[in-house]
Structure 1
Amino acid sequence: MKILIGIDTGVKTGYAVAHDLGSGGKLEEVETLSITQAMDRVKQLAEQYGKENMKLYIEDARKRTFVTGGREKLQGVGSVKRDALIWEDWCKEQEFHYLMVEPKANTTKLKADQFKKRTGWTKRTSEHARDAAMLVVGRFFKI
């Protein structure tokens, strides 16, 4: 079994896990965690399934080309960009297979009802968790 992990970086880290069953992935987990909780969960999956059987898809805010808003918004964007760098460095150190994904290459900001219709996921989700899930929905495991 191949494991796909979606990470939406930020103080509230979106975390999603899908099993690639040859049909583009079946969501198993969709939630919001702290960055350290998400990293612990990834390590647990590596122990359970093996690093060679998993791949992380991480939103890379560093590739965002424009930002609108005031000072607080810009500080938040800077924080998310820093988190993307932390995830990338951590994946290299842990020798995980990963892909840094441009925000424009992902479907984001789906409302709960849109997400449910698109994925079939019926449990409660946050915007961050939905964004993480959309990083893995419809993907096949490729190294």
Structure 2
Amino acid sequence: MGLILGIDPGAATGVAAYDSGKLVELLTIEPFQLERFLRERAVASPSVLFEDSRLETRLWNARQKGAYGAALATARSVGQVDAWCSLIASLCADMGIPAHGVSPTVKGAKVAAPAFGRITGWTKRCNQHERDAAMVAWKFRNSVALKGRTC
């Protein structure tokens, strides 16, 4: 099956690695470190799955509708993440790494540390960015269908 990488883009970018379906690595890196992270793992012929905010149609929740400041902050944050999603897709294309965007809805809700441990078997400390990265790739961690496909 090989290496499957999950990425949760953001100012604190969560990354996860599954090797033959088993979660083996969780890290938090800055966006400028993405290229190095991918190049270091490219020798293992990985596939990348990243949470892609560009695939989501709903940007903010009902509580923010009347709050201009909150909606503006959300829009700015989503715009930054959209740019990082484009960067991930471009980096992967440049390196010949199959990459697939996963909408936040498909990824699912955030998972607290205790539940994450039960789901994945991960026993070490981790933060929400790392858990999100792992959950982006969770459904696809054993998938051979990802090989050879790109965004």
Q: Structure 2-normalised TM-score?
A: 0.82
1:43 aligns with 2:39: yes
Distance 1:102 1:82, change over 3 A: same
Give the equivalent residue in structure 1 for 2:110: 109
- Note the alpha carbon deviations across 1:73-128, whole angstroms, 9 max, x for none: 22111111111011111111111111111111113411111111111111111111
Distance 1:138 1:63, change over 3 A: closer
Q: Give 2:32's aligned amino acid.
A: T
CA distance in 2, matches of 1:138, 1:43: 24
- Give 3-state SS (helix, strand or coil) of 2:91's partner: helix
Q: Aligned pairs, how many?
A: 135
- Give 3-state SS (helix, strand or coil) of 1:10's partner: coil
Q: How does 1:2-81 map to 2 (within 5 A)?
A: 2-20=2-20, 25-47=21-43, 49=44, 51=45, 54-68=46-60, 69=64, 70=70, 71-81=72-82
Higher alpha-carbon deviation: 56-65 or 129-138 = 129-138
CA distance in 2, matches of 1:111, 1:13: 18
> Which segments of 5 or more consecutive residues in structure 2 lack a partner in the other structure?
65-69
Q: Give 1:96's aligned amino acid.
A: I
CA distance in 2, matches of 1:11, 1:58: 14
CA distance in 1, matches of 2:139, 2:74: 31
Q: Give 2:106's aligned amino acid.
A: A
Contact 1:9 1:83 in 2 (8 A): yes
CA distance in 1, matches of 2:15, 2:144: 17
Moved over 3 A (4+): none
- Give 3-state SS (helix, strand or coil) of 1:28's partner: strand
- Give 3-state SS (helix, strand or coil) of 2:144's partner: coil
- Give 3-state SS (helix, strand or coil) of 1:17's partner: strand
Give the equivalent residue in structure 2 for 1:86: 87
Cα shift at 1:36:
2.7
CA distance in 1, matches of 2:7, 2:77: 17
Contact 1:108 1:134 in 2 (8 A): no
CA distance in 1, matches of 2:110, 2:139: 17
Give the equivalent residue in structure 1 for 2:144: 141
